[in-house]
């Protein structure tokens, strides 16, 4: 049998001081009190009195009372069980406008008193919770919109130069050189063919040897997204609409002043678009960074050594020439080398994207 719970004298009468629905500060005070004391029934504003049958509560918030997992119920409820543990999780902060009181009650308790009023209040609470979490996302992201737009402006020329180089490089291998590079260099792994004598059992039972070709590891390409097509392309196509979307959101937020003034549709829309924009910019940046490594890591020299190796699957030459590269192969379609330019900003330093939600 659980122990009798003493409720402070001050809480045993109606504390009728709440003319308005509790705001964020008061809800925070209640949460803090429950977190620190584990006793909703001792909060200074809690009325530990049974609500009248005709009451209409407004549910303002939900709370869990801290308790070990093995304890199923911990707090007393003024609706139904005023001096013994009745509930633990999803307790309700219930404001009763007619009486001007707040009661901290069990999750479903008021349903036994007035089912209809409980359901109405619950639907309303879910809407409020949704609005609150959407607003929290908007408030987190809105101070960073301008910074994100500036990053997009910095990234677009770099990523576009990388896109162009990638398309031309892959086009040259596919078309002029007729080498299926993306297929034979998947994941950036380059192999050469090695012939080995392997034993096998002949039909008469004796053991002979035969020649077999093995693919042996030669080198790994850093920044392989440039050649194996696992990366994204069209940074500009992707980032331009994102940029204008962010600017539209920013303008609207400035216009309304307070994001609480947004209507329901806008609020939901912004709260989804802002984190998504952040993630998409990160994706383009990561991708561009990986492809930049192809130009800065010595990958071109590695490809050159591979293309000249007598046991490489295809023979070709690749070398830096001027600001770009030149490619040739024995079976290429035209006699002159294929020249591909590397735009100067292709290797410009990419900006860092601040992590949101820290600090
Ligand atoms: Zn109850």
Spacing, Cα 24 to ligand 1 middle (Å) = 25
Whole-angstrom Cα Rg for the chain: 34
Computed over every residue of the chain, the mean pLDDT equals: 92
- pLDDT at residue 335, as a whole number: 79
pLDDT of residue 359: 41
Residue 231: per-residue pLDDT: 65
Calculate how far, in angstroms, residue 77's C-alpha sits from the geometric centre of ligand 1: 4
Integer Cα distance of 275 and 101 in angstroms: 39
CA 80 to ligand 1 centroid distance, Å: 4
Spacing, Cα 116 to ligand 1 middle (Å): 16
Q: Please identify every residue whose CB atom is under 5 Å from ligand 1, which is an ion.
A: 77, 79-80, 106, 109
* 119 CA distance to ligand 1 middle (Å): 15
Q: How far is the CA of 26 from the centre of ligand 1 (A)?
A: 22
How many CA atoms within 13 Å lie on the side-chain side of 77?
25
At how many degrees (to 10) do helices 264-296 and 115-141 cross? 40
DSSP calls for 177-215: S---HHHHTGGGEEEEEEEEEEEEE-TTS-EEEEEEEEE
Which ranges of the chain have pLDDT less than 70? Answer: 1-2, 231-234, 357-359
What spacing in Å lies between the alpha carbon of 48 and ligand 1's midpoint? 11
CA–centroid distance, 79 to ligand 1, in Å, is 4
pTM: 0.77
* String of DSSP letters for 214-239: EEEEEEE-TTTHHHHS-S---HHHHH
**Nearest alpha carbon to residue 336 among 326, 321, 324:** 326
* Chain segment 185-212, per-residue pLDDT in tens: 888 999 999 998 888 888 888 888 889 9
Q: How far is the CA of 233 from the centre of ligand 1 (A)?
A: 59
pLDDT score at 234 = 67
Q: Give the pLDDT confidence score for residue 33 in this predicted structure.
A: 98
Q: How far is the CA of 109 from the centre of ligand 1 (A)?
A: 4
Q: How far is the CA of 107 from the centre of ligand 1 (A)?
A: 8
The answer to whether the CB of 68 falls within 8 A of the CB of 92 is no
């Amino acid at each position: 049998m659980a122990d009798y719970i003493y409720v402070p004298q001050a809480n045993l009468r109606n504390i009728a001081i709440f003319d308005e629905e509790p705001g964020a500060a008061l809800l925070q005070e209640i949460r803090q009190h429950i977190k620190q004391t584990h006793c909703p029934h001792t909060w200074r504003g809690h009325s530990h009195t049974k609500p009248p049958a005709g009451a209409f509560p407004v549910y303002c918030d939900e709370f869990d009372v801290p308790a070990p997992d093995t304890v199923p119920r911990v707090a007393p409820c003024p609706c139904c069980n005023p001096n013994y543990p009745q509930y633990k999780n999803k307790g309700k902060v219930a404001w009763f406008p007619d009486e001007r009181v707040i009661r901290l009650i069990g999750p479903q308790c008021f349903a036994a008193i007035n089912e209809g009023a409980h359901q109405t209040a619950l639907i309303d609470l879910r809407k409020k919770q949704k609005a609150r979490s959407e607003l929290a996302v908007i408030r987190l992201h809105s101070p960073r919109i301008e910074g994100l737009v500036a990053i997009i402006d910095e990234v677009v020329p770099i990523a576009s130069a990388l896109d162009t180089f990638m398309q031309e490089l892959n086009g040259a291998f596919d078309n002029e050189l007729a080498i299926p590079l993306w297929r034979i260099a998947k994941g950036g792994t380059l192999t050469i063919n090695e012939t080995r004598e392997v034993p096998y059992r002949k039909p008469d039972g004796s053991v002979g040897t035969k020649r077999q070709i093995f693919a042996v590891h030669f080198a790994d390409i850093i920044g392989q997204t440039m050649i194996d097509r696992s990366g994204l392309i069209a940074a500009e196509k992707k980032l331009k609409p994102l940029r204008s979307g962010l600017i539209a959101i920013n303008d609207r937020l400035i216009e309304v002043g307070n994001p609480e003034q947004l209507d329901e549709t806008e609020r939901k829309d912004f709260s989804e678009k802002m984190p998504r924009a952040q993630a998409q910019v990160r994706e383009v940046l990561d991708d561009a960074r990986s492809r930049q490594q192809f130009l800065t890591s010595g990958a071109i020299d590695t490809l050159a050594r591979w293309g000249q190796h007598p046991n490489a699957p295809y023979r070709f030459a690749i070398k830096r020439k001027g600001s770009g590269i030149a490619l040739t192969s024995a079976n290429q379609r035209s006699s002159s080398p294929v020249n591909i330019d590397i735009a100067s900003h292709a290797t410009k330093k990419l900006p860092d994207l601040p992590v949101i939600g820290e600090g």
